[in-house]
Amino acid sequence: NSEACPRYAGIVIDNIEVGESPAWLKQKLTAIGVRPINNIVDITNFVLQEMGQPLHAFDADQIAGSHIIVKTVAKGTKFVTLDEVERTLRDTDLMICNGDGEGMCIGGVFGGIGTGVTNETKRIFLESAHFNAEWIRRTSMGHLLRTDAARTFEKSADPNICVTALKRAAALMVDLANGKIASQIIDIYPEPISPAEVRVRWVQINKLIGVDIPKDSVRKIFDALSIRIVSEDDEAVVVAIPTNKADVTREADVIEEILRIFGFDEVPFKSKMEVGLLPVSGVTKYQMRNIIASFLAARGYSEMQGMSITDDENLETGVFPIEANARILIQNTSNITMNTMRPDLMVSALEAVRYNQNRNQEDFMLFEFGHGFVNAAHAESDASGIQQSTAAGKASDHGITVKETEYLTLTIVGKETPVNWIGHNQPQSDFYTIKKYVDAVAQRVGFTKFRSFESEDPRFEYGQRYAIGGKNFVEFGKISENVRKGFDLRYDVYFAQFNVDALYDMMRKSTMLSADISKYPAVKRDLAFVLNANATYAKLAGIVKQAAGQQLKVLELFDVYKNDEHLGPGLKSYAIQLVFEDAGKTLNDTDIDGIIKRIVSKVEQDLGGKLRR
């Protein structure tokens, strides 16, 4: 397979003596973190670090048919690697096979258990090859084999150093293992890779670096880098890039090489810094995040930063708000269990709660800005806006459309106020604690008129959602017992999740008004209404505000009373305090009585409520 393996070279060495490496070789390997194994393996590792060319030694007596075939094998073929793990091969995995077509090594990645060098090995076939970077990367990542050889080939090793490195290693094996060269060097290189030619403009060198470099200095730098000048004129120079510089492919890359040798410290800096300022109307999203973060931190919250990936097993806890096929799965080579992009931030919040709980932290409040990711092709449409996408991109290789949404979350566990000498019996946080902070954040960004609904999210035992213009901008409540058990949480958790785009849209539209403090006194009145048990305070408050008009400055609920004997079955009482104020005059009893009559009439009309005497 000349596409996956453009060059393959090797040599046979007889009469080797496998044993311990000399002290100097072991010291050099140990100094760079490589564990010495035996003289043969240590020599291949040493040459890899010295010359940047991976090598592999086969036990020649174990190569069936005394032939080497470089090819792919059938999909599903089993192969046992040196770590004694049986792996299932794919039809894109390049294999080094014996004369019978049986795999001996995953080319450029990892050796097999049957043909490796042992203490009994007497003859070896030493391989020095050049493999295609894309093929190696695909196989290495697919099998989670992040070997030194794979990392080197992924970065495109020098194809024209194979034989040089092979000779270097063979000479060391003759000296350190008493080997004897038993064959000519076999070098299969059907299409030699030539140095790439790049045209570099003289003016562009000075423009990108920011300083005029004499042409003679540039030529000396090219010579020091073994970059051959093919041709030049007054406008540009054409250079041949050595094959050991696979990442140097463009004019800008060549100029970067020039700067590296010329020296960054030789580029002068201006004595003054010039910065262009662009006028910006209103706040930016970055500023809004800082405003909210400072607002919450001042109220005792700590900022957390969860990972965007999570364990797929969390799906079983019921914490994911989406179906399994709407998840975004990834191949995480660092931790195979962390293989799912979080759909929203609840999973990160509960992981943080569990982490703190396991370290005996019982009382804390957390907030986080972050992103959730779902597969738009399978995610349910959400008119509320909580799942609304803020960014989308095609992952064409997997046939999915990724929806990315930014959220702000609040998480409360335990007591809102730590125990102190003033009050030893601080109450535990409850639904109204999280509601208080949700209302505070909403008010801070300018949400003053919105509708409240009961949350239908099954992850909440009970909760609410606020909507404006037909779209939710926040949903909050108490985490259900099932979800808590899935995360092994002992304490009640109260959680809120805002859509950051909705917050930002409102903050951009809102205006901050200032006014003089009224010089006229405020008037307070207390009212108690008897209502049906299913009537909510939010509905009552909306009706009262509408009826009272702008002279109503404060509306507070201070008592909820239920008693079938006193009120009647299916009824309850809301007691509210109202504060009235007029900036232009002192309100008298006649003014207040008129407002109260409008309020009572409106409540009776819209809610069927009666004033409690």
What integer is the mean pLDDT of 388-410?
A: 68
Q: What is the pLDDT of residue 270?
A: 75
Provide mean pLDDT across the span 300-324: 81
Query: What is the SS3 assignment for 602?
Result: helix
Q: Which region among 112-116, 201-205, 385-389, 487-491 has the lowest average model confidence (pLDDT)? A: 385-389
Which helix H or strand E contains 482, and what residues bound it? helix 481-486
- Residue 385 pLDDT exceeds 50: no
What is the tens place of the pLDDT at every residue in 522-562?
A: 999 999 999 998 888 888 988 999 999 989 999 998 898 88
Structural class in CATH, domain 7-188: alpha beta
Is a pLDDT exceeding 90 seen at residue 393? Answer: no
- Other beta carbons within 10 Å of 553: 14
| CA-angle at 513, arms to 507 and 516, nearest 5° | 155
Question: Is pLDDT of 381 > 70?
Answer: no
Q: Give residue 101's pLDDT.
A: 84
User: In which band, very low, low, confident or very high, does the pLDDT at 398 lie, cut at 50, 70 and 90?
Assistant: low
pLDDT at 14: 92
Q: Is the pLDDT of residue 420 over 80?
A: no
Dihedral of the alpha carbons of 296, 297, 302, 305, in degrees to the nearest 10: 70
Six-digit token pair at 518? 């009224």
CATH topology of domain 523-611: Alpha-Beta Plaits (3.30.70)
Distance CA 266, CA 95 (A): 49
Name residue, tokens 């311990």: 20
pLDDT exceeds 90 at position 506: no
**Two tokens, residue 310:** 């999570």
Strand partners, 59: 124
Identify the top-confidence range among 55-69, 78-92, 166-180.
166-180
Indicate the CATH number of 285-509 among 3.30.2270.10, 3.20.20.210, 3.40.50.720, 3.30.930.10: 3.30.930.10
The token pair that represents 6 in the structure block: 């453009």
pLDDT, tens digit, 9 for 90 and up, residues 207-224:
898 888 899 999 999 999
Q: Taking the C-alpha atoms of 285, 286, 287 and 288 in order, what is their torsion angle to the nearest 10 degrees?
A: 50
Q: What architecture does CATH give domain 196-266?
A: 2-Layer Sandwich (3.30)
Question: Looking at residue 382, what is its pLDDT?
Answer: 44
What pLDDT, in 10s, does the model give residues 123-164?
Answer: 999 999 999 888 888 888 888 888 888 888 888 888 898 999
Say whether pLDDT at 176 is over 50: yes
- Domain edges within the chain: 7-188, 196-266, 285-509, 523-611
For residue 452, give Cα distances in angstroms to 192, 383, 439, 540: 72, 15, 11, 12
Q: What is the mean pLDDT of the chain?
A: 87
